[in-house]
Amino acid sequence: MGKVVINPARCKGCKLCIEVCPRNVLVPSSKNNHLGIYVVEPKKVGECTGCSRCAMICPDVAIEVYR
Amino acid sequence: MKKVFGRTRTLRDTHTHYCPGCGHGIAHRLVAEVIDELGIRERTIGIAPVGCAVLAYYYWDLDICEAPHGRPPAVATGMKSVNPKNIVFTYQGDGDLAAIGFNETIHAANRGENITVIFINNAIYGMTGGQMAPTTLCGQVTATTPSGRNAERYGQPIHVAELLGHLPGVTFSSRVALSDIPNIMKTKQAIKKAFQAQMDGKGFSIVEVLSPCPTYWRKTPVEALKFIKKDMTKIFPLGVFKE
pLDDT digits (tens, 9 = 90+) for B4-25: 999 999 999 999 999 999 999 9
**What is the total residue count of chain B?**
243
How many beta-carbon pairs below 8 A join chains A and B? 72
Give the DSSP per-residue string, A12-59.
----HHHHH-TT--EEEEEEE-TTS-EEEEE-SGGG-----HHHHH-T
Q: What are the backbone dihedrals phi and psi of residue B25, each rounded to the nearest 5 degrees, phi first?
A: -60, -40
Query: Cα separation of B116 and B89, whole Å?
Result: 5
Burial of B206 (0-12, 13-18, 19+ CB in 10 A): buried
* Biggest CA-to-CA distance, chain A: 32
Cα separations (Å) of B119 from A30, B29, B48, B61, B153? 37, 15, 11, 20, 26
Asked if A9 is an interface residue toward chain B (Cβ–Cβ < 8 A), one would say yes
**CB B181 to CB A56 under 8 A?**
yes
pLDDT in tens, A2-45: 999 999 999 999 999 999 999 999 999 998 999 999 999 999 88
User: Residue B64: beta bridge partners?
Assistant: B46
Contact in structure between A52 and A1 (CB atoms under 8 Å) = no
CB contact under 8 A, A57 and B181: yes
A50–B contact, CB cutoff 8 A: yes
Chain A: residue whose CA lies nearest to B19:
A12
d(CA B6, CA A6): 11
Q: Is A20 at the interface with chain B, CB within 8 A?
A: yes
For A39-64, the pLDDT digits (tens) are: 999 998 889 999 999 999 999 999 99
**Helix (H) or strand (E) run with residue A62 in it:** none
ipTM: 0.95
State the pLDDT at residue B141: 93
Average pLDDT, chain B: 94
Nearest CB neighbour to A10, from listed B15, B221, B222:
B15
Contacts of residue B22 in chain A, CB cutoff 8 Å?
Answer: 59
Domain A3-66 belongs in CATH node 3.40.50.261: no
Judge contact between B86 and B74, C-beta under 8 A. no
Question: Which value, in Å, is the radius of gyration of the alpha carbons in chain A?
Answer: 11
Residues of B in contact with A9 (CB under 8 A): 15
Q: Give the distance, in angstroms, between the CA of residue B219 and the centroid of all CA atoms in the same chain.
A: 21
Kindly determine whether residue B3 and residue A56, on different chains, have CB atoms separated by under 8 Å.
Answer: no
Chain B residues in contact with A11 (beta carbon < 8 A) = none
A66: nearest CA in chain B? B3
Calculate how close chain A gets to B56, using CA atoms only, in Å: 13
The CATH class that applies to domain B23-242 reads alpha beta
> What pLDDT was estimated at residue A1?
85
Look at residue A9 in the predicted model and tell me its pLDDT: 92
What confidence score (pLDDT) does residue B243 get?
Answer: 86
A53 touches B: beta carbon within 8 Å: yes
Contacts of A3 in chain B (CB under 8 A): 1
Please identify every stretch of chain B with a pLDDT value under 70, giving residue numbers as ranges: none
Question: Cβ contacts (< 8 Å) between A63 and chain B: which residues?
Answer: 5
CB atoms < 10 A from the CB of A33, how many? Answer: 17
By Cβ distance, the residue of B11, B16, B20 closest to A14 is B20
Q: Is B212 helix (H, G, I), strand (E, B) or coil?
A: coil
CB-based contact A40:A26 (threshold 8 Å): yes
On whether the pTM is more than 0.90, the answer is yes
Residue boundaries of the structural domains of chain B = 23-242
